[in-house]
Structure 1
Amino acid sequence: MAILRSSILLFPSRIHFGIRHVRCAASESAAEADGGKKVSARLSMMQQILREAEDRAVSAGSEPSPKITLDHVTVSFARSGGPGGQNVNKVNTKVDMRFNVKQANWLGERIRERILQMEKNRINKDGELVISSTKTRTQKGNIEDALEKLQAIIDAASYVPPPPSEEQKKRIEKLAAVGEQKRILNKKALSQKKTFRRNRDSWD
């Protein structure tokens, strides 16, 4: 018993070092196991996003962009401002065209959501997108101009980018794997730092 006590007093650092080593090994193995799951989950999620992009591109490629007509809008007229002679003060040529995006069931849900997001600063509380036109000095010309503006918005919302190529998919997956590896290394470093601090406090 006396020999055992003397060895403990003479070599306390070895005992603490051995305990610290076991704790680090256990934490590293747990981190690797946990990290392995997260790597596969993240890559799986990335692959699912890529598949969804391909499906959207295929479905959108077979469908033409929806076309807007006067039946889908409400038109009102007002007097145009600015120069234009006496005719400006007599004829209501300015066009205010209202298009209710929320009630446009003839558009797909995805397109409606895109328009609501893209034009959120121009849509009123009733869900109406208001387009004004004073491009020409005639009502007909301004109506056509306002319809063209609305059609351009619908075309932009309907656009679906082409799916990534095989080279792009490999690059995306590689970047995701590198990012996940950095996350695991940072997690390991933080775990070792915490373990070292706990053991240092126990020495004191």
Structure 2
Amino acid sequence: MAEDDGRIVIMPGLAIHRDEITETFVRAGGPGGQNVNKVSSAVELRFDLTNSTSLPAAVKARAARIAGRRLTREDVIVIAAQRFRDQPRNRADALARLVAILRAAADPPVPRRPTRPTPASRHARLEGKQRRARIKILRARPVEH
């Protein structure tokens, strides 16, 4: 994840502006000693997908799907980072996680090529069906003459 002139490079040919990201700092739970109640070391990073001018529509759609429950109703990706005890490392962690989502979304999925079943697989399927049919016939009540 490289930065140049206020842009965060996702991959060659795709970058987002630094000002499209908002960060808020809150007090983190977990370890921190005497500092934990005084320092806001946890980071909540927000990236507005809908209003982003840097990303193509297809990438936005895939990013929304990949983000899952981190996506709000307003199409804002929210990433909370509190893994580390200091703010700069949490900021870098949150940004790295956003870049990972966008990088995965930038890769278009490989289209599925339909294939035909092989003769062996067709034969195996029919064998299985015949085997099940024989088992069910054995379960039936005997026919009285």
Q: Same fold (TM over 0.5)?
A: yes
Select the structure of larger CA radius of gyration: 1
Query: Which TM bucket (shorter chain)?
Result: 0.5 to 0.7
Unaligned runs of 5+ in 2: 1-10, 120-145
- Aligned position for 2:35: 87
1:118 corresponds, among 62, 66, 87, to: 66
**CA distance in structure 2 between the partners assigned to 1:139 and 1:106 by the alignment:** 27
Q: 2:23–2:43: 8 Å Cα contact kept in structure 1? A: yes
State whether structure 2 residue 94 is matched by structure 1 residue 153: no
**Where do residues 1-204 of structure 1 align in structure 2 (5 Å cutoff)?**
64=12, 66-68=14-16, 70-161=18-109, 172=114, 175=116
Structure number with higher relative contact order (C-alpha < 8 Å, ≥ 6 residues apart): 1
TM-score, structure 2 as length reference: 0.65
CA RMSD of aligned residues (A): 2.5
2:36 aligns to what SS in structure 1?
helix
Report if the CA contact (8 A) 1:115-1:153 is conserved: yes
What amino acid is the match of 2:44? D
Q: In the alignment, is the contact (CA less than 8 A) between 2:45 and 2:80 conserved in 1?
A: yes
Secondary structure of 1:130 counterpart: strand
Q: Which amino acid aligns with 1:79?
A: R
How many angstroms apart in 1 are the aligned matches of 2:45 and 2:13? 20
Output the CA distance in 2 between the equivalents of 1:87 and 1:101.
Answer: 35
Give 1:66 deviation, angstroms.
2.4
Give the unaligned 5+ runs of structure 1: 1-62, 179-204
Higher fraction of helix: 1
Q: Which amino acid aligns with 1:131?
A: I
**1:50 counterpart residue number:** none
Count of residue pairs the alignment pairs up = 108
The 3-state SS of whatever aligns with 2:15 is coil
* Deviation digits for residues 103-135 of structure 1 (CA, Å, limit 9, x no counterpart): 112101110010112223221122111001112
2: CA distance between counterparts of 1:125 and 1:162? 28
Residues of 1 paired with 2:71 and 2:111: CA distance? 31
Alignment partners' CA distance in 2, 1:67 and 1:135: 26
Report % sequence identity: 35
Q: Following superposition, which runs of at least 4 residues in structure 1 exceed 6 angstroms of deviation?
A: none
